[in-house]
Amino acid sequence: MREIKHWLDGAAVSGTSGRQLPVWDPATGEQQAYVVAATKEETDRAVASAKAAFPAWRAASLSRRAEVMFRFRELVDANRKEIASLVSKEHGKTEADAGGELARGLENIEFATGAPHLLKGGYSEQASSGVDVYSIRQPLGVVAGITPFNFPAMVPMWMFANALVCGNTFVLKPSEKDPSVSLLLADLLRQAGLPDGVFNVVQGDRVAVETLINHPDVQALSFVGSTPIAKAVYEAGTKAGKRVQALGGAKNHMVVLPDADINAAADAAVSAGYGSAGERCMAISVVVAVGSVADPLVAAISERIGRIAVGPASDPSAEMGPLITREHRDKVAGYLAATTAEVVVDGREAPVSSGPGFFLGASLVDKVSVDEALYKDEIFGPVLSVVRVDSYDEALKLVNDSEYGNGTAIFTRDGGAARQFQYDVVCGMVGVNVPVPVPVAYYSFGGWKSSLFGDLHMYGPEGIQFYTRSKVVTSRWPDPATSEVDLGFPKVR
């Protein structure tokens, strides 16, 4: 059976621990490969490789680093089909969905190619007599990324594109559930001219994660995953003296006002609720139906669910694939079994759900109580809950009272109501008639409340800030004849 290896010092390397972790084919339920979980020593080797490569990579010119990103962008674009196919094979998402993931990842690489502009500092001439002051941004050193299974290509690109172009070296610990694409990306970086050791990959589990968190040579950690683990990574990483950005879970609400276009809102709810089988941190999982819009909206969503084609990525007509593992599929189905709300469409009854793969049909649950687990928990599956409220104020309170603050959306024809919502809502990313408001690459991605631990969001301008630190230089070139002792406070006038 195929072994998915580590990537150390510019080459694929077999694991030595003997601890094999299975990689499943979600469409068939069969094991297709395995990773050998990295030992502490192997993870230490990855960090050592990155540390050794840092001085030369940091010294490379901005133009050189940008050139590598330009070449990498072209290689990713040229290999889109192969990358998307690999993502689909291990994750289960359709190839069209995997292609969309790659497109958003490419946007982040394109942003990173602008490093010569993005890393410009400020300069103040004559801040005092004969004194100039300027600021520069410098890389941190070795940084690490710990990424989730749901976007095995895009999320690593969110991290390493900016980190590398800023002059850092990088250690990636991808999800053990769909890790192959990390090696393909590593090889494309090598082909693009990235020096050996600048980018390393360690496969595995918590042993690798804990080693990276505690390693004294790792300066910063980026993480995307569930809220409990994000919080634990943030607390452990900051305790170890590292800079940390840890993105957690979500429970994204889509508020639909009575004046909204029913068909447009229903299309958006189905697209955002069931795309990638709901395994997205920006998926809409709760529709908040205000007043009279509820009945026609539920009917419209229900009608559309029946037209969703569920199947393996190998089926060109498939629009929604399986969930990542059997255990996760069963966990999601368990929420449907436990709810006391009205199950309008039960995904467990879909014919594909009884097959050998990890499939679950799309489900719609109406009149959901905010007190039950179906509403409170991040389900991460194709389950859409409908909560009915009487007013805009009640809808707003529902969103703001949520533990999470990742993304939210409002559907309305009233510009004033939309503007008030974006002003009032306590959330990091807001969509107005846009159900999945993931920012473009030249803004930054991140939520509020329990959806983010750390001060800086991911990718975009804040990504550049995260992977660099500012240094301010005060410079004077005086005439030695004018030098004198002055014990007073430095003068600026």
Cβ atoms within 10 Å, residue 410: 30
Residues in the chain: 493
275: left (phi over 0), alpha (psi -120 to 50) or beta: beta
Expressed in angstroms, the distance from the first to the final Cα of the chain is: 74
CA distances from 56 to 47, 53, 141, 198 (A): 15, 6, 11, 9
- Residues 289 and 274: their CA atoms lie apart, in Å, by 18
Contact in structure between 358 and 310 (CB atoms under 8 Å): no
Residue 23: both structure tokens together: 């990689």
Helix, strand, coil shares of the chain as percentages rounded to 5?
Answer: 40, 25, 35
Runs of H (alpha helix) within 122-170: 154-165
Element spanning 57, H or E: helix 40-59
- Type of residue found at 80: R
- Do 153 and 181 touch, CB atoms closer than 8 A? yes
Cα 374 to Cα 63, 326, 337, 389, distances in angstroms: 51, 19, 10, 17
Write the DSSP string, 8-56: ETTEEE---S--EEEEEETTTTEEEEEEEPPPHHHHHHHHHHHHHHHHH
Distance of CA 111 to the CA centre of its chain: 16
Report which residue type is found at 61. Answer: S
DSSP H or E segment with residue 132: strand 131-139
Q: Could you tell me which of 429, 301, 316, 280 has the C-alpha nearest to residue 365?
A: 301
214 vs 32: CA distance, rounded Å:
33
Contact 290, 257 (CB under 8 A): yes
Nearest to 71 by CA among 179, 180, 164: 164
Do the Cβ atoms of 428 and 443 come closer than 8 Å? no
* Integer Cα distance of 245 and 428 in angstroms: 15
CA distance 238 to 240: 5
Enzyme catalytic residues? 281
